[in-house]
Amino acid sequence: MIAELFDRNLRWAAGRARVDPEYFRRLASQQGPEYLWIGCSDSRVPANEIVGLDPGELFVHRNVANLAPPQDANFLSVLQFAVEILKVRHIIVCGHYGCGGVRAAVSGERHGLIDHWLQPVSCLCRRDAAELRGILDFDARVNLVCERNVLAQVASLADNPFVRDAWDRGQPLSIHGWIYSIQDGLLRDLETTIENVEGRGGASPKAPRGRARRSRAG
Partner 1 sequence: MTRVGEVGLHEAHDGIEPISPELMATPLDFFFAEHFRHRQLCALIDRLSTTTFFDPGPIAEVVDFLRFEAPIHIIDEEEDLFPLLRRRCLPEDDVEGVLGVLSAEHKTDAILGRGVRDYLEHCLDTRAAPGANMDGRRDLAAFAAQERRHLALENAVVLPIARQRLTPEDLTGLARRLAARRGMAPGETGG
Piece of the chain touching partner 1 by CB under 8 A; list 42-50, 102-110, 156-164, 186-194 = 186-194
State the Cα–Cα distance between residues 146 and 64, nearest whole angstrom: 12
Strands 90-96, 58-63: pairing kind: unpaired
DSSP 213: P
CB 111 within 8 A of CB 104: yes
Least distance in Å: CB of 181 to partner 1?
A: 5
Binding-residue pattern over the window 123 to 162 for partner 1, x denoting contact by CB under 8 A: -----------xxxx-xx--xx--x---------------
Going by C-alpha positions, the residue among 192, 203, 164 that lies closest to residue 83 is 164
* Residue 49 binds to partner 1 (criterion: CB under 8 A): no
Least distance in Å: CB of 23 to partner 1?
A: 26
> Applying CB under 8 A, which of residues 21, 52, 170, 218 lies at the interface with partner 1?
218
Going by C-alpha positions, the residue among 196, 52, 44, 209 that lies closest to residue 134 is 209
Least distance in Å: CB of 145 to partner 1?
A: 12
State the Cα–Cα distance between residues 192 and 190, nearest whole angstrom: 6
Residues that bind partner 1 (CB under 8 A): 97, 134-137, 139-140, 143-144, 147, 179, 181, 183-186, 188-189, 191, 207-210, 212, 214, 218
